[in-house]
Amino acid sequence: MSIRKIFFMFIVVVCTACSSDLFISHSGNIPDASKIARIHSGQTKEQVLDILGSPSLMTGLSSDHWVYMSSTVKRVAFLKPEELDREILAISFKDNKVSRIETRTLADGNDIAVDSDVTRLTDRDDGFFRKYFGGVGAYNPFGNSNSRTGL
């Protein structure tokens, strides 16, 4: 047997051994449709919480946007995971009352293109020493260094 045949057989064995690692995982807590149908504009956060339970995440500074979501992902060995299903329920509140209810699925999703443009933070270009040694001596854990009180 030649070395090429042995190498080819080794590659085939390794690839087929790993390909049987198939995992389908489900994550999230999307409520069933009958519970979602009970939600309408004007309900309070407490009423929604009683019907749907805790959201997957709350967004916004005042927690006025609740998101319930679930997804099913297929993973095969070392290959890139593939999302099979996704459901999202987004509820927005205004003045502690439901103002908007939205549902989304995997079909509604879209890829986001990452922009490679760079924004400069300052107009001046710091030199090597200012960049790496500019903060030396700036740390003062005791407050004002000119103050002699308390000594």
pLDDT one-digit tens code per residue, 11-55: 776 666 555 577 888 888 889 899 999 999 999 999 999 999 989
Q: Which of 37-46, 68-77, 131-140 has the lowest mean pLDDT?
A: 131-140
pLDDT at 89 exceeding the cut of 80: yes
pLDDT at 147 exceeding the cut of 70: no
Task: Give me the pLDDT at residue 107, please.
Answer: 85
Task: Give me the pLDDT at residue 38, please.
Answer: 93
Q: Which of 13-22, 91-100, 123-132 has the lowest mean pLDDT?
A: 13-22
Average pLDDT value for residue range 64-73: 91
Model confidence, pTM: 0.58
User: What is the spatial distance between Cα 87 and Cα 28, in angstroms, rounded to a whole number?
Assistant: 9
Phi-psi region of 95 (alpha: psi -120 to 50; beta: other; left: phi over 0): left
- Phi, psi angles (nearest 5°) of residue 139: -80, 125
Residue 67 has a CB neighbour count (10 Å cut-off) of 17
User: What is the spatial distance between Cα 133 and Cα 122, in angstroms, rounded to a whole number?
Assistant: 18
Residue 66 has a CB neighbour count (10 Å cut-off) of 22
For residue range 33-42, what is the model confidence (pLDDT) as tens digits? 999 999 999 9
In this structure, whether the domain defined by 29-108 belongs to CATH 2.60.40 is answered with no
pLDDT at 110 exceeding the cut of 80: no
Single-letter code of the amino acid located at 6: I
